[in-house]
Each structure stands twice: as structure tokens, then as C-alpha cells.
Structure 1
Amino acid sequence: MLTENRLKAAIAEGRLALGLLGSVPSPLLVEMLGHAGYDFVIVDQEHVGVNPETLENMLRAAECSGLTALVRVSSSAPDGILRALDAGAQGVVVPRVRSREEAEAIVRAARYHPVGSRGISGGRTTGFGRIPLAEYLQRANREVLVVAMIEDREAVEAIDSIVSVPGIDLVLEGAIDLSQSYGVPARFDHPEVQQAIRRIAEACRRHRVPFCAIPRLPGQAEAWSRDGAAALLLGDDRGVAFRALKAHVSTVREELSGKQGGAASP
């Protein structure tokens, strides 16, 4: 059932929110993220195949652990936005928004009349009828987050027209795809890419639209916090889990190696 969007509330109150990209299609892992203390998760449907039943269960896991769950849809197509929100997502992250027209279209797809044209349905989002439908429509328009991802040079050039669209609640940078668009694939640290991200953040500041950064270089998390970022996306669950697992087994191997070496010493 749709409840208060804690991420949206944190942004409105000026509290820095910390999140993770959910690339592992596992409700259990989403639940762990909530109890571990993350503020939000972005369930990835752009690069990961998540079936509808698993998606619903991942969103339920977020609800039960106090985690705000957004879904990164595969494109700006209205049907994908509709299905993600009807499954219970508290917001959608739309990749590769390039123009004001595309930004306006995703706002219409994600919201009901009078600001949008999202198809109306009941089901789990209304608590199967616990929230009267008319009340739910108003609540959904208030609580659902619409997030535009900026991942192309074209979008950077049009950034002021994109972020000035009413109903865009948050802007997320996509440095990896930006690097390709700028002709330096995978070089997210390239000066042109970093300058593009700064242009995005500055446009958000001018238009008073919250900005979500992805710290990738040493010191960037602190720098973005000082510069007024509303949220930080701290990588994806696969990377965090892999590094933790690798460190864990390496530590044990080193301990065992040290003990064996000590036993063999005269």
C-alpha cells in the first residue's frame, strides 16, 4: 500500500539521503539494505531482468524494512512506468532523458489528472481498497518521485529546459554513459565528464531541483554533501557484496597463512 515517501520527505527537510542500486533480483537483499540503514534503493530494470512477481516482492521487502524503493525502468515508455508504479514503487528513475519534451512526457506518465494521464488501477497500491480510490489518486500525485537520469551530451546541453519542467522531483547523473557520449568510454573521471556533471548540478541548483550524485572518486561523497546534493547513490549491491565477500575470505586466508607460517618457524 502506498505510504509516505520517506525519501521525498528527507529531501524536503534537507537531510542527505543515501541509497544503493539494487541489481540483484532478491527480496531478501532489499530487506537487508533497509535494516542496514540505507534510505533508498533503486531496483534496476534497465540492465537487469526482474520478473513482475520478483519485482513486487522486492518492493514488499522494502516496505517492511522502512526503505524507499524506486524502480529504474528500461526506457521512458509510459507502459513501463505504469507497471513499476502499479507494482508499488514509490518512484521511477527514467534513463536517458534528453529533452524538455521527454521530461514532460515522463511526468504525465507517472501522475494522475490534473497533472498527468497515468492509467488508473487499484490493487496493492490502495491496500486492496483500504484507501478510497479518489484519495489514493491525490496521495500518489503527492508521494511518487519522478527522477530524470542525465546520461547524454545532448541532455547536458538542454539541462536547463529539462530541470525546469514542473514535476521533475530529482535529477540523477549517469557518468558512465556520459563518458561514452563525450567520446571517452568508461572514463568517468575525464575532465569533460566531470565538468558535465557539474553543469547538471549547477542547473539543478538554479532551478531548485534536488540533485543526486554518484560518488566514484576519493573525497567526492564529502564534496557533494558540502555542495548541497540532496542524495548520494553509493554504487550497486553487486559491487558492495563482492568487495565484502572478497575481503572476508582474503582476511581468513591471511590469518590461516600466518598461523601455518608460525607453526613452521623454529
Structure 2
Amino acid sequence: MLTTNRLRQQLAQKQTVFGLIASVPAPIMIEVIAYAGFDFVIIDMEHVMINPETVEHMIRVAEQSGITPLVRIAEINAKEILRVLDSGAMGIVIPQVEHKEQVEAVIQAAKYFPIGQRSMNSGRPGIFGRDDLADYMERANHEIMIIPMIETVQGVEQIDEILSVEGIDMILEGAADLSQSYGVPWQTEHTLVRQALDHIQQVATSRQIPYCAIPRQINQYEHWQNKGVHAFVLGDERGIAFRALQSKLAQFPVINTDRSQTEL
């Protein structure tokens, strides 16, 4: 069911919001993330094998638990975007954006006339035609978010053109892939990467487009806060769960005893 996009409202009010990438294809993980206190979740279809029915269930759980569900698509495919939105997603995250035409193509697929040409449907977001469908289309055009990710040198170089596209609701960094694009893989604190991210944020701010950072350390979070950034993605739940499990196990060290001393 299409509701008011709470994340969109929070960004407009410059509230600090926290999101998480959902890489485990299981609805219960969305529930865990929501009740842990996160504001939004990015259901990942780019790096994860996941079927459409599971995506719809994850979106449904997000709706019920009060967290804004976004979906990172695997590629720019109008039919895939249509199915994701007809399942109830409140926004499309576009990976590997390098030129404005990519964003324009997603807007055409994600928005109804007069903005785009999304195929009309009276499914679950429109409550199966219970309410006025023309009104639903207008609300959908307002509530659905378009969020490009900048993850390559080409994307950084084209950031002015990319952000000139009307209808972008937030810009998301991709420091990991960006570091590889600059030839320094996984060195997300490298000077080239940091300068690129700062440039993206400056251009976004000049165009009044919210910038979303992915801080990996507390000093990175403080850096972006000092620059007036209010939106943060704190990694993915797989990595957080893995580190938590490691930490838990480390609390109970194995004590090796010499069994030979106890044997007869």
C-alpha cells in the first residue's frame, strides 16, 4: 500500500536518518532492522540472488514495521523497476551511475505521466483499485524516490550533469567501488576517494539534493555531520551480524587442557 514516504519527509526536515543495506533475502531481517531503530532499508538486488516474491514480502514487512523500503536494482531494466514498484517499494537505488541518461531512464520507468511512462496497475500499492487510481498515480509520482549511486571515476566527473536531472531525491556514495575505480581497491580513506566524495557532496548541496554517506568509522560520521549531512547508511546486516557473532564467540575463549594427565 502506498503511504507517505517517511524518509522523504525526514530528509526535507533535515532530520538525521540511518539506513542499512539488507543483503539477507529474508523478511524477518527487515523486521529486525526496523525494530532495532533504523529509518530506512535498502533491499539489495544487485549483489544478492533474490526472487521477486521474497522482495515483495520484505517490502510488506517494512511497511508493517514502519521502516521505509528502498530497493537497489541490479540493472536499469524498465520491467524490473515496474515489478519492484508494483510490489510497494518507496524508492529505487540506481547502482553505478555514470551519466545522466541512466537516471532519466529510471525516472521514465518509475514515474507515471506526465513525468514518466510507468505502466499503470491497480495492484497492492494502489490497494487493488479501491481508491481513485488517478489520485494514486499523482501521489506515487510524489512519494517514490530516485537515488543514484556514484561509484566510479566517470560518475564523479559527470556529477554536475547527473545531478542536473530533475527528480533526484537523494544521492548515495559508493566509496568501495569508487576506490577500485581509482586503482586503490578497499582504500576508502585514500585521498583520491575522500576528495571525490567531498566533491559529490558539495555539488549535491549546491543543488539542494540530500547526500547520503556510508561511514565506516566514527571519524567519517563526524566528518559528514560537520558538513551538514543528515543521511547515513551503516553498511549491511550481513557484515554487522558476522562481526557481532565473532565478538560473541571471542567472549568465550577455548581453554586447552592436557587430557593426558587425566587419562589412566
- Residue 121 of structure 1 corresponds to 121
- Residue 194 of structure 1 corresponds to 194
Instruction: Name the CA shift for 1:37/1:218 in 2 (closer, same or farther; >3 Å).
Output: closer
Equivalent-residue separation in structure 1 for 2:238 and 2:120 (angstroms): 35
- Residue 106 of structure 1 corresponds to 106
Q: Could you give the per-residue CA deviations for residues 128-171 of structure 1, whole angstroms, max 9, x where no partner exists?
A: 22332111101100100100011111111110111121001110
**1:97-176 equivalences in 2 (<5 Å):** 97-176=97-176
- Residue 78 of structure 1 corresponds to 78
Equivalent-residue separation in structure 1 for 2:168 and 2:79 (angstroms): 19
**1:1-266 equivalences in 2 (<5 Å):** 1-251=1-251, 253-254=252-253
Letter in 2 for 1:35: Y
- Residue 263 of structure 1 corresponds to none
The 3-state SS of whatever aligns with 2:232 is strand
State the 1:180 CA deviation. 1.5
State the 1:230 CA deviation. 3.2
**Unaligned residue ranges in structure 1 (runs of 5+):** 261-266
State the 1:30 CA deviation. 0.3
Q: How many residues are aligned here? A: 257
Equivalent-residue separation in structure 2 for 1:40 and 1:122 (angstroms): 25
Equivalent-residue separation in structure 2 for 1:126 and 1:103 (angstroms): 25
Equivalent-residue separation in structure 1 for 2:155 and 2:147 (angstroms): 14
- Residue 264 of structure 1 corresponds to none
Equivalent-residue separation in structure 2 for 1:24 and 1:131 (angstroms): 34
Instruction: Name the CA shift for 1:230/1:165 in 2 (closer, same or farther; >3 Å).
Output: farther
Query: 1:16, 1:225 within 8 Å by CA — same for their partners in 2?
Result: no
Moved over 6 A (4+): none
Letter in 2 for 1:120: M
Equivalent-residue separation in structure 2 for 1:91 and 1:112 (angstroms): 14
- Please, what is the CA RMSD of the aligned residues? 1.5
The 3-state SS of whatever aligns with 2:61 is helix
Query: 1:10, 1:16 within 8 Å by CA — same for their partners in 2?
Result: yes
Equivalent-residue separation in structure 1 for 2:183 and 2:245 (angstroms): 34
Q: Could you give the per-residue CA deviations for residues 3-35 of structure 1, whole angstroms, max 9, x where no partner exists?
A: 011100000011011000000001001011111
**Unaligned residue ranges in structure 2 (runs of 5+):** 258-264
Query: 1:5, 1:68 within 8 Å by CA — same for their partners in 2?
Result: yes
Q: TM-score, normalised by structure 2?
A: 0.93
Equivalent-residue separation in structure 2 for 1:56 and 1:15 (angstroms): 28
Q: TM-score, normalised by structure 1?
A: 0.93
